[in-house]
Structure 1
Amino acid sequence: MPEAPEVEALTLFLRERLTGHAVHTVELAEFRALKTRGRPLDQLVDRTLTGVTRHGKHIDLDLDGIHLALGFGRAGWATWSDGDAASLPPEGAAMIATVTFDDGVLGITDAGDWLSVQLHVVDDPFDVPAVAKLGPDAADPGFSRETLARALGTRRKQLKALLQEQESLAGIGNAYSDEILYVARLSPLAHAASLTEDEVTQLHAALREVLDEAVAARGGVPIAEQKAAKVAAMRVHGRTGEPCPDGDGVIEDIPGTKGSGQYCPACQPPHA
């Protein structure tokens, strides 16, 4: 799943590469991905890209006032080709749609067992329901401790689940929630309401450290290499059975995640 650091890197690439360039043709290979059935991708043809913005894990392409909103979901991503034909999708992925500009081709792919990519053609990015209900952007450098404290509130929700709740704070998914909680030395099973003031401060510092480092590290990495770069940088996520990088423990699967989340029980003991 692409999360805020990878989507930010893609946003910066598209902004630099495509601003001022016009759409020549579009092709929708998987019609189920287009959620605005009354507004086909053809509406983008002959329009010039004037801006690219990120909203959590979503990207918005502004084409002379008509917006193409890209939601990557669990297994979506993008390809880029400088030629007249789209790059082949990664192994195991399907090409969902292509947008051919005057100097290259943007491809949208999905590698999931079920389709999770969503495309919307809208007049305003906040016309997309998933974007309209996003909480504060966790990857924004201005995301403060006070903002995090408000998101945590007094809820009896496990920290890992809450960090991934896009309505509470946007941009964090499965991988970075594991990384943030590991750096914070907090159990992913602890409830938000149980945190002390010092632990909230601790969690905020870890969030800033992990996301700031990741955003900086992903910048400039080619689109096709973003996933590998993310995987290589993980401290605990996806590393079941490996030694803890900072202690004597062993990385284990988080109970109840069916192997999709990891932590170090020695460094992240049950919350008091």
Structure 2
Amino acid sequence: MPELPEVEALAAFLRTAAADRVVARVEPVAVSVLKTFDPPYSALTGAALVTVGRYGKFLDLVFASADGERLDLITHLARAGWLRWKERQPATPARPGRSPLALRVVFTDGSGFDLTEAGTQKRLAVHLVRDPGEVAGIARLGIDPLAGSFTLDALAALLAESGRAQIKGVLTDQTKIAGVGNAYSDEALWAARLSPFRPAGGLTASEVRALHEAVVGVLRGAAEAARGLAARDLKAEKKLGLNVHGRTGLPCPRCGDTVREVSFSDRSLQYCPTCQTDGRPLADRRLSRLLK
């Protein structure tokens, strides 16, 4: 799933690659991804790309129509979505089919981008609005961890308010902290040497400080590593920078212990027992059920 660093890098890439380009046509291929109807997507025809921004994991392409109206094409790439830039889009209109193509934007110079989604769980969402605040997911977002307001005190208050909620869930709750997903929460908890199942409200002052430094450091490091990369290279760069997430069975790069996994119905988390749980393996709920 694209998280804050990848979405930030996509925004930066598009600000360079597509600045001032004018929309020739918008081709919705998978109608299920369209979450708004007013204004119609045809309103983007003739609009110029002004800038590209980010809200948490939402990518916001800001256009100005011929009469100066602001139009925001906002997408949430969900778990399996991606943006693919092309210097030359096909001349023929896109057709619904078995391809992962969900929506195509073509500029007047022939370039453009595709929004694609792999797999069977169709969660990619596209909104066309006049104000980002009209998107419910954006309106509910919590604090941005790369913003100046994400201070040590702000995190401490958020954790205290979360009580006995597990710290992994707090980090990935978009209404609390915007932009952190499964991968970078695993990475931050590993960096801070914290178990993902620790109650958020039970952390000591030194642990809160370590977590704050880890969250900010992991996200800034990933964003810096992705800076300047083309959209097609971002997924590979993300994998290269991970220490525990997605590395089940491999040695921990810090202590050498074997990275372990806890599986859930639709996702999993990874951690190092020596670094994070005093050497104790966490119960894998899915495996436990299979053994009963």
Q: Normalising by structure 2, what TM-score?
A: 0.86
1:142 offset after TM fit, Å?
A: 5.3
> RMSD of aligned C-alpha atoms?
2.0
Amino acid at match of 1:100: V
1:40 offset after TM fit, Å?
A: 2.7
- Give CA deviations for 1:59-90 in whole Å, capped at 9, x if unaligned: 1111110111111111111000111339x9xx
**Could you list the runs of 5+ residues in structure 2 that have no partner in the other structure?**
65-69, 280-292
Moved over 4 A (4+): 255-259
Distance 2:167 2:262 in 1: 12
Secondary structure of the corresponding residue to residue 241 of structure 1: coil
> 1:151 maps to what in 2?
158
- Is 2:184 the partner of 1:176? yes
- Is 2:89 the partner of 1:81? no
Q: Choose 64-73 or 167-176, whichever is displaced more.
A: 64-73
Instruction: Give 1:30-41 correspondences, 5 Å limit.
Output: 30-41=30-41
Distance 1:20 1:258 in 2: 40
> 1:111 maps to what in 2?
118
Is the contact made by 2:143 and 2:149 (CA closer than 8 Å) also made in structure 1?
no
Distance 1:263 1:243 in 2: 11
Secondary structure of the corresponding residue to residue 179 of structure 1: helix
- Is 2:253 the partner of 1:245? yes
Instruction: Give 1:96-135 correspondences, 5 Å limit.
Output: 96-103=102-109, 104-135=111-142
> 2:73 maps to what in 1?
68
Alignment identity in percent?
A: 39
- Alpha carbons of structure 1 residues 222 and 191: separation in structure 2 relative to 1, 3 Å: same
Secondary structure of the corresponding residue to residue 115 of structure 2: strand
- Alpha carbons of structure 1 residues 152 and 270: separation in structure 2 relative to 1, 3 Å: farther
Distance 1:258 1:59 in 2: 24
- Give CA deviations for 1:138-173 in whole Å, capped at 9, x if unaligned: 133652212212221232111111100000000100
Distance 1:175 1:93 in 2: 27
- Give CA deviations for 1:87-112 in whole Å, capped at 9, x if unaligned: x9xxx970100111133111101113
Secondary structure of the corresponding residue to residue 61 of structure 2: strand
Amino acid at match of 2:224: A
Distance 1:140 1:9 in 2: 16
1:23 offset after TM fit, Å?
A: 0.5
Instruction: Give 1:1-272 correspondences, 5 Å limit.
Output: 1-64=1-64, 65-85=70-90, 94-103=100-109, 104-140=111-147, 143-154=150-161, 155-254=163-262, 256=264, 260-269=268-277
Amino acid at match of 1:119: V
Largest Rg, 1 or 2: 2
Q: Give the aligned length.
A: 267
- Give CA deviations for 1:15-51 in whole Å, capped at 9, x if unaligned: 1222211111110000010011343311111011112
Distance 2:132 2:124 in 1: 16
Distance 1:101 1:125 in 2: 23
**Could you list the runs of 5+ residues in structure 1 that have no partner in the other structure?**
none
Distance 1:259 1:30 in 2: 25
Is the contact made by 1:93 and 1:112 (CA closer than 8 Å) also made in structure 2?
no
Distance 2:267 2:49 in 1: 41
Distance 2:266 2:252 in 1: 20
Distance 2:266 2:59 in 1: 30
